[in-house]
Amino acid sequence: MKRDLISSAIGILVLTLVLGILYPLLITGVSQVAFPGNANGQQIDVAGKLVGSKLIGQSFGGQRRYFQSRPSATTPPDNPAATTFSNLGPNNIATEKAIAANIDAYLKLERPYDPGLTAAAVPVDAADTSGSGIDPDISVANAEIQAHRVASVRDLPLARVMKLVSSYTHGRGLGFSGEPGVNVLELNLALDRLSAAAK
């Protein structure tokens, strides 16, 4: 029995050392060499100041001059330390209420600039959270609806803002997975550059 306990303890120590320390260090080292941008979260800086990550959605606080990320299930919104989904089923009344509230907020923000917008036309990603709660992308349809507001608030031609949306649209993952999307942070940074150049 004593021998079994000793061999079990040694097994736990060896596995802890290998799987808990050596393996993570090896993977981190290989990642830093092979994929340094991805391993560090594809951080984006502007003029030497870190403004976010290409891989993590962030809130733009309802500022009308910016494209808005999709709703977040984290508290506070878009908090990568609390990455989560709501854990509520699609037939849960709380899910239904949250989606209705998100649609109402979206219409309140967008309808003054797109009077014909109806609740039925609100894209799914504007009404519901993503699986991670911090998805950095929105759908092309969502970006095109928001372009009306952004162009109006920034006093830019709608065609120019739509062209910007088109140029920041990326295809499906691996060519077949998911839908084309637009990275909100990258689009907003490009929008700031466009506005600065227009002055």
Domain that holds residue 91: 42-198
Residue entry with tokens 């309808």: 111
> How far apart are the C-alpha atoms of 185 and 130, rounded to whole Å?
16
pLDDT higher than 90, residue 52: no
| Domains: count for the chain | 2
Name the residue with higher pLDDT: 86 or 42.
Answer: 42
- DSSP state letters, the chain: -HHHHHHHHHHHHHHIIIIIIIHHHHHHHHHHHH-HHHHTT-EEEETTEEEEETTS----TT-TTSPPPPP--SSSTT-GGG-------TT-HHHHHHHHHHHHHHHHHHTTT-TT--GGGS-HHHHS--SSS---EEEHHHHHHHHHHHHHHHT--HHHHHHHHHHTEE--BTTTBS--EEEHHHHHHHHHHHHHHH-
66 and 119 in a single domain? The answer is yes
Burial zone of 42 (CB within 10 Å; 0-12 exposed, 13-18 middle, 19+ buried): middle
56 and 68 in a single domain? The answer is yes
pTM of the model: 0.77
Per-residue model confidence as pLDDT tens digits over 3-45: 889 999 999 999 999 999 999 999 988 888 888 777 777 777 7
Q: What is the pLDDT of residue 168?
A: 94
Per-residue model confidence as pLDDT tens digits over 113-139: 999 999 999 999 999 887 777 889 999
80 and 165 in a single domain? The answer is yes
32 and 100 in a single domain? The answer is no
Q: What is the pLDDT of residue 112?
A: 92
56 and 133 in a single domain? The answer is yes
Q: What is the pLDDT of residue 132?
A: 76
Specify the range with the lowest mean pLDDT, choosing from 45-54, 80-89, 93-102, 147-156.
Answer: 80-89
Q: What is the pLDDT of residue 143?
A: 97
34 and 96 in a single domain? The answer is no
Per-residue model confidence as pLDDT tens digits over 136-184: 999 999 999 999 999 999 999 999 999 999 999 998 877 777 789 999 9
68 and 28 in a single domain? The answer is no
Q: What is the pLDDT of residue 87?
A: 66
**pLDDT band per the 50, 70, 90 thresholds, residue 92:** confident
35 and 86 in a single domain? The answer is no
Residue where a domain stops, chosen among 10, 25, 40: 40
pLDDT higher than 90, residue 191: yes
